[in-house]
Amino acid sequence: MHRLFTRRQDTQAAPPDQGPGATIVALPTTAPAPAPGEDPRDALLASWLGLAEVQGRSLSAWDQEVRRVNDMVEGKVVDLAASFRQLSTAARDQSARIEEIVHLAGQVELDGETAQVGDVVAGMSALLVDMVNNIIQLSKQGMSMVYVLDDVVRQVEEVEGAVGEIDEINRQTNFLALNAHIEAARAGVHGATFKVVAEEVRLLSKTTASLAERIRARVGAVASGVRKGHEVLRQIATTDLSPQLLAKERIDKTLAGLMDQNQRFQDVLAETAALSGRTAETISSVVTGMQFQDLSKQRLEAVLDSMAVLRAGLEDLSGRTRQARPALAPALPEGWPDRLFSQVKLTAVRENFARRLLEGSALDEIGALDPTATADDAGGDIELF
């Protein structure tokens, strides 16, 4: 086992003041002055050996650290990639479902058949237009019928009047026939012919009266029917359908509003579906980008390989130096350990580095590497004796 450090009589008396976070208390770090009669080059070689030892242990420690980082990154990247793939799948599923909603939002089921909402609304609008046209036509025809029946009622009244006149004429005719009978009787034999004529006139008058009565009865029935029809038609025509006409206006506005809202709904959903799609693509790009880990692993392994070569070189040269100078003990250049430790901020890394650097060294033998120092998270200082 090589000794990392040696104690020399002429080492610096007091430990350097490191300030907050100091890790090194006292080390024989200065290059020793040559002893009387000693070759000055041996002091330099001793320093070089010390530095080589430190470099070798440092390289070993960093090799371990880099591998640990590599493994950690690789593990986390694999986990992240798996999570991102799940996210991408979920985003694609979401996009597909939203597209389905967009498709469904534009359709409606009527009597077992699927129809586009736009077509249904157009159909309803057409029905409303038909309804309005029918109302208008109904109103016009109704009023036309009222005028026609009004005329018919007037005609019927005239006919009834005419029948009344016939009755009057008939009554006078009958009266004249009776008078003629009386005069014929007075005229005796000379009035026989006149009597016959008078009798015929009387019979004619009777027939006419009977006919006029039948006409009156028929006309009366017709007049009664016409008047009833006229009254029913008045009731129909009086019914105001303008509220139904104006309802079309309201329904048209409502349908237009529903169409607008449906379209806005579909537009927003389509944008959301597109966004989900772009999210899925972005996530896929992230997963692809995370392949950087593979490249960085390869580059770090190249660094590790180089470090291994350096370490081997240092060990080889250290070995040959020791062979050439068996009595030579490595001396650590001044300030190197504290400069190395002070660069490492993470407590766990610093502790591991210190352990790798000092285990098996002379400081370790005298208890300088305090294992209890790892429990302190506040400053993270490794307390070295």
How many residues sit in the footprint of another protein (CB under 8 A)? 27
Closest separation between CB of residue 254 and another protein, Å? 14
Whichever of 240 and 377 has its CB closer to another protein, that residue is 240
Q: What's the closest the beta carbon of residue 157 comes to another protein, in angstroms?
A: 15
- Which residue, 135 or 215, is less far from another protein as judged by CB? 135
* Rounded-to-integer distance, Cα 80 and Cα 127, Å: 59
Q: Among the candidate windows 167-175, 177-185, 220-228, 246-254, which touches another protein by CB under 8 A?
A: 246-254
Those residues with Cβ within 8 angstroms of residue 105's Cβ, 6 or more apart along the chain or in another chain = 117, 262, 265, 266, 269
Nearest of 140, 145, 128 to residue 244 by alpha carbon: 128
- 142 versus 335: smaller Cβ distance to another protein: 142
108 bridge partner residues: 115
In terms of Cα–Cα distance, which of 227, 237, 235 is closest to 149?
227
- Does position 9 interact with another protein (CB under 8 A)? The reply is no
How near is the Cβ of 131 to another protein at its closest, in Å? 11
Contacting another protein within 214-243 (CB under 8 A): 234, 237-242
Say whether residue 142 binds another protein (CB under 8 A).
yes
Identify the DSSP state of 39.
-
Using alpha carbons, list the distances in angstroms from residue 143 to 150, 223, 234.
10, 20, 9
Among 83, 89, 141, 298, binds another protein (CB under 8 A): 141
Q: Nearest 5°: CA angle at 267, between 264 and 269?
A: 110
Q: Residue 273 corresponds to which tokens in the numbers above?
A: 């579906």
34 binding another protein? (CB under 8 A): no
Maximum Cα interatomic distance, the chain, rounded to a whole number of Å? 212
> x/- contact string, 80-119, with another protein (CB under 8 A)?
----------------------------------------
**Binding of another protein by 131 (CB under 8 A):** no
Residue 126 found at the interface with another protein (CB under 8 A): no
b/e sequence 249-258, b meaning 16+ C-beta within 10 Å? eeeeeebeee
| Smallest separation (angstroms) from another protein to the CB of 239 | 8
Joined together, the tokens standing for residue 29 give 């770090």
Nearest partner of 160 among 222, 228, 227, 229, judged by Cα: 222
Residue closer to another protein by CB (options 210, 239) is 239
- 134 scored as a contact of another protein (CB under 8 A): no
Residues 6+ apart with CB under 8 A from 23: 338, 341, 342, 350, 354, 381, 382, 383, 384
Binder to another protein among 33, 44, 124, 129 (CB under 8 A)? 129
Q: Does 172 bind another protein (CB under 8 A)?
A: no
The least distance separating another protein from the CB of residue 264, rounded to whole angstroms, comes to 27
C-alpha Rg value of the chain to the nearest Å: 63
Partner residues linked to 115 by β-bridges: 108
Q: Per CB under 8 A, does 12 bind another protein? A: no
- From the list 22, 31, 102, 146, which residue makes contact with another protein (rule: CB under 8 A)? 146
Q: Does 1 bind another protein (CB under 8 A)?
A: no
Q: Which of 147, 324, 327, 375 binds another protein (CB under 8 A)?
A: 147
Residues that bind another protein (CB under 8 A): 129, 132-133, 135-136, 138-144, 146-147, 150, 234, 237-242, 244-246, 248-249
